Structure 1
């Protein structure tokens, strides 16, 4: 509370009521930068060039004005105090060091563990970290994945041959396919993070810089019960994306030239005649005209959370996270600078949680990016959560177990704590 008060008083003391004007200048600079980004992504030619220039010059001009009038240090100090206030508030409201899911100590060790490894994932991490040799030394049967193989069929074959634990050293898409088989047979599952992003491993608290450390789950482990997400009959451990991103991923050139493909295809997808327009139903929420829709296995934290950007606090809430984007003009792009408020909605952005989400379009099929892999599903697509479906074993000691923190800085509750009063959660 003191840091929040100081973040307001510093500019007031330094510039008096003129500080309000400086705040408006900063907001205007962010809005203009957002417009520049929109022109860069949604247009080509002259407008794209202007967009690049605007997205760079607007914030630079604001900083130059602050520096010229002696307000740069004031703005930086005020911003630092505000970040400190929000971080402290979320820490004060946190229930403590939490876990991505409830943990159960494991006494028994697997007798016939089976590991599928993709030697191409992450630029060849399987070879660099000598994972084949280390897994075999731990008593695992190792199967190297070659191009064109049916991952699901391999996992089912392993079960039929007596595997009592399934593990994957590969990307999130491969992890999801084997995880579904493990969940169906109620077998423990081990994640070995060798992919490019390893989002699932990140939220499990695994060390992505040392994939071999995940093999510790075979001998000294705890077991987590985590949720799986489904888009129609396809399982996902991270997310299913519809609309703009799914269409970009479908382009054959995307794998080898991501940035070039995105810049080439986005204008048509955002403002062209063939731009996707999706409809979404989740509980009592109905919305249409969406350009992009992300359905995640448990809600992601806020993208602006500097401490944990794009991460999930929990993997066992039994809920899907939903983020919808609808931006059709420069005014909406500028207004999105505000981000979602307490109601989780702005004109261009909607965030919510639900047990089931229905995605519709005016076409018979929908392209979907499931954990980064492109698939085409019949429309409408029903997404649902399978709570506690997967038994995941992780090393007992792992470096990245996240701290559970409040989803937002609830200032009335923080004020109650500061005054020594019980801080009850809203709604009970």
Structure 2
């Protein structure tokens, strides 16, 4: 009804500029998207022009509405659409509530070993007094030396040989994955301490990212779940594997110190120059070619907006990889992406059990010396170069994760608005839809 009301408002205002409201809104969105593309894909005057257009387009639309007297029509129609989307998501959420895994009560570990990186997250280990707190709870702490890089996987194996009955990490997702693989190999529970910078894995587990010390409560009052563990050419990952534009940026030695500046400096060469890297992949055997970027995740994200890094995975035990591919080569395609979202021709969103990635086509490239090429890859944010083809798979429910019983939890994700399903629900097909989905 709210969606119909939004259309009716525009139709009733035809004489007063209802079509102008729609046209101005679409034009502003297109110009803003084109400006953003020029800003990230060009240098010099073109970049300045792009920044101006990205900022001026929405402001110009608002000024146009105000000066032409159409602001009330635009406001009422926008509120109706916002209501329609909110109600639609609520209805879809009720029709298919997210599946959640039921934790089991965990035994208190007797010989817990925690590996901590004092530099991770800007020094969270020291700021939150994690070493002393963990030792007071009976855990043994291995504190990494930033001046002498160590093989954390080997440290974890040595801890297992010494009788550890739990492994844990206070560090970034890359370090988490290496120790998690050892825990999964030996069937031991794994403790995530959210002391990294972004803590994607901890966020999707429902842990407190603001206070990593709360994660240590699992040592005395914990519960256990099982989650999937990703694998990229024999290396574990808990979050994402990125190919293409992002992976090339992470390879830069300046990236750690100046992420945004390095990205803006490298983007034009990676996106717009002739001969820029293109990726090919086999997604469960189906070809996906000529991509500028590929994001493979350990379980799918809610929507393709997660390329920005701020999204969530509603479940971590589906036994599937999330696959997002993007190909945007000019301002027109960028505008199409803004208009159509996940339905845009330049965006591929799917799931798979196995993804094989090559550089530029279905066959692995060969260097001049006849050797296999090595592809830049960002594994949980860590820069690597792996021999092609790079194969990504998932190990279902391979990892036992110990969680504190008192934790923030994972908020239910807002489902994408599927108008076809909404119409089926509205016309009384809710029972049939829900039962059909429960069977799948």
TM normalised by structure 1 equals 0.92
Structure 2 Cα separation of the partners of residues 72 and 304 of structure 1: 29
Q: What CA deviation, in whole Å up to 9, does each residue of 1:199-244 have, x standing for no partner?
A: 1111111111111111121122221111111111111111000011
Structure 2 Cα separation of the partners of residues 404 and 258 of structure 1: 29
Structure 1 Cα separation of the partners of residues 36 and 319 of structure 2: 35
Q: What CA deviation, in whole Å up to 9, does each residue of 1:18-73 have, x standing for no partner?
A: 42332122111111111111111111112112111111111111111112123334
* Residue in 2 that maps onto 1:19: 18
* Residue in 2 that maps onto 1:357: 355
Deviation, structure 1 residue 413: 3.1
Give yes or no for contact 1:3–1:82 (8 Å, CA) kept in 2.
yes
Deviation, structure 1 residue 112: 0.5
What are the residue-to-residue correspondences of 1:15-414 with 2, within 5 Å? 15=14, 18-94=17-93, 98=98, 102-147=101-146, 148-283=149-284, 285-303=286-304, 310-341=311-342, 345-362=343-360, 363=365, 364-403=373-412, 406=415, 408-414=416-422
Structure 1 Cα separation of the partners of residues 44 and 422 of structure 2: 50
My pick for the range that moved more, 86-95 or 265-274, is 86-95
Q: How many residues were matched structurally? A: 420
Give yes or no for contact 1:302–1:309 (8 Å, CA) kept in 2.
no
Sort the Cα spacing of 1:97 and 1:212 in 2 relative to 1 into closer, same or farther, 3 A.
Answer: farther
Give yes or no for contact 1:303–1:309 (8 Å, CA) kept in 2.
no
Structure 2 Cα separation of the partners of residues 181 and 325 of structure 1: 33
Structure 2 Cα separation of the partners of residues 318 and 276 of structure 1: 30
SS at match of 2:433: coil
Give yes or no for contact 2:108–2:220 (8 Å, CA) kept in 1.
yes
Give yes or no for contact 2:169–2:193 (8 Å, CA) kept in 1.
yes
SS at match of 2:256: coil
SS at match of 1:424: helix
Q: What CA deviation, in whole Å up to 9, does each residue of 1:304-362 have, x standing for no partner?
A: 59xx9511111111111111111112221111112345xxx522111111111111115
> Structure 2 unaligned runs (5+)?
366-372
Deviation, structure 1 residue 409: 2.1
Sort the Cα spacing of 1:219 and 1:333 in 2 relative to 1 into closer, same or farther, 3 A.
Answer: same
> Structure 1 unaligned runs (5+)?
none
Structure 1 Cα separation of the partners of residues 253 and 33 of structure 2: 29
Structure 2 Cα separation of the partners of residues 154 and 84 of structure 1: 54
Structure 1 Cα separation of the partners of residues 354 and 262 of structure 2: 32
Sort the Cα spacing of 1:121 and 1:73 in 2 relative to 1 into closer, same or farther, 3 A.
Answer: farther
Sort the Cα spacing of 1:351 and 1:412 in 2 relative to 1 into closer, same or farther, 3 A.
Answer: closer
Structure 2 Cα separation of the partners of residues 348 and 413 of structure 1: 25
Structure 2 Cα separation of the partners of residues 309 and 171 of structure 1: 16
TM normalised by structure 2 equals 0.90
Structure 1 Cα separation of the partners of residues 383 and 48 of structure 2: 31
Query: Is 1:417 aligned with 2:417?
Result: no
Deviation, structure 1 residue 193: 0.4
My pick for the range that moved more, 10-19 or 65-74, is 10-19
Deviation, structure 1 residue 94: 2.4
Give yes or no for contact 1:97–1:404 (8 Å, CA) kept in 2.
no
Structure 2 Cα separation of the partners of residues 139 and 333 of structure 1: 54
Deviation, structure 1 residue 98: 4.4
Give yes or no for contact 1:414–1:423 (8 Å, CA) kept in 2.
no
* Residue in 1 that maps onto 2:370: none
Structure 1 Cα separation of the partners of residues 285 and 65 of structure 2: 46
Structure 1 Cα separation of the partners of residues 420 and 46 of structure 2: 45
SS at match of 1:409: coil
Give yes or no for contact 1:103–1:222 (8 Å, CA) kept in 2.
no
Give yes or no for contact 1:97–1:402 (8 Å, CA) kept in 2.
no
